[in-house]
Amino acid sequence: MSAPPLLDVDGLTLDFRTRAGRVKALDDISFSVQRGEILGIVGESGSGKSVSAYAVMDLLDGNAEIRGGTMHFGGADLIERDRAAVRSMRGREISMIFQSPRTALNPIRSVGRQIADVLVRHGPVPRRQAKEKAIAALRKVRIPDPERRYDAYPFELSGGMCQRVMIAMALACEPMLLIADEPTTGLDVTTQAVILDLIRDLVDNSRMAAILITHDLGLAGEYCDRVAVMHAGHVVETAPMAALLGRPAHPYSAKLVAATPSSAASIDELASIPGNLPNLLRDDLPYCRFCDRCDRRVARCDTEPTPMTAVGEDHLVRCWSPL
């Protein structure tokens, strides 16, 4: 019998209340991640990838409303549990790397002290020992001369170094789950590889779990074990990474794969995905939010909710006409 997932999100539905109406940001989304694996969450901007992560981290704005579904982490209910208890888990058991390290880091506090603050808050680690542990955390993410970098400010470091500091901060308390939200945004290709190789090594060696949020399916294909494909607040397909790249079942997933550059393809062979995401303020959103862009649309797409169905081992798709 397989072990239960470390994180299990099931049927999560979430709206944002605005003056213009309710933004139906997430609708019945489900995904899970096991210890020792990296789950990729991929999709276009606006598909709900980051909102899903913020829901897990309890970092949603005050106008957010969870209207259904469950989230369990290590068996604990993240929705029904006391908010103070969930906040105490954040940084200690679940950590997150944000998209922009320069804006996430405090510009007027040295990077080493910011890591030490996390250790003191969640350790608990006495302040006199926090510096030593913070330097060790910097060394773990392969920052050269960590003793000197401890006293550096974010503006004194490169983008890649700031990203490594963010990873060091996220890993300082040895969390069970690391969520990396577009962790290589704005970095050169070489630095991207260093950052993601580091995350892969940490997952393999410490048996923690990681979620890699990205719009780059090629990047996910290189580093992730499984993938959840999101479109307009829906998870439309979940599968082992190799299965999705080899035989995507949802039309949207297939178009993402076709639009992903490869060394064998010329630029003329790359496909584009026509149309735009639907307006999530609409009261008449279709059951399938991809149907207006889909060339496999059938009558049932407009009249019946689309369930997740199995098309292979650990391979689920939300579509009436899977490929």
Confidence of residue 92 (pLDDT cuts 50, 70, 90): confident
Instruction: Compute the mean pLDDT over every residue in the chain, rounded to the nearest whole number.
Output: 90
Q: Which of 24, 18, 5 is nearest to 282 (CA)?
A: 24
Q: Which residue has the higher pLDDT, 127 or 63?
A: 63
The 10 Å CB-count burial string (b at 16+, else e) for 125-164 is beeeebbebbbebbebbebeebeebbebebeebebbbbbb
Q: Which of 93-102, 128-137, 222-231, 279-288 has the lowest mean pLDDT?
A: 93-102
10 Å CB burial of residue 269 (0-12, 13-18, 19+) is exposed
**Report for 90-104, 106-120, 179-193: range of highest mean pLDDT:** 106-120
Per-residue pLDDT tens for 15-57?
Answer: 999 999 999 999 999 999 999 999 999 999 999 999 999 999 9
Q: If you average pLDDT over residues 299-309, what whole number do you get?
A: 90
Q: If you average pLDDT over residues 104-115, what whole number do you get?
A: 93
Q: If you average pLDDT over residues 52-66, what whole number do you get?
A: 94
Portion of the chain with pLDDT greater than 70, in percent: 96
Q: Which of 8-12, 117-121, 131-135 has the lowest mean pLDDT?
A: 117-121
The size of the chain, in residues, is 323
Q: What is the pLDDT of residue 71?
A: 96
Domains and CATH numbers, the chain: 7-93+175-318 (3.40.50.300)
Q: What is the pLDDT of residue 54?
A: 94
Q: Which of 233, 237, 210, 235 is nearest to 64 (CA)?
A: 233
Q: Which of 246, 201, 199 is nearest to 227 (CA)?
A: 246
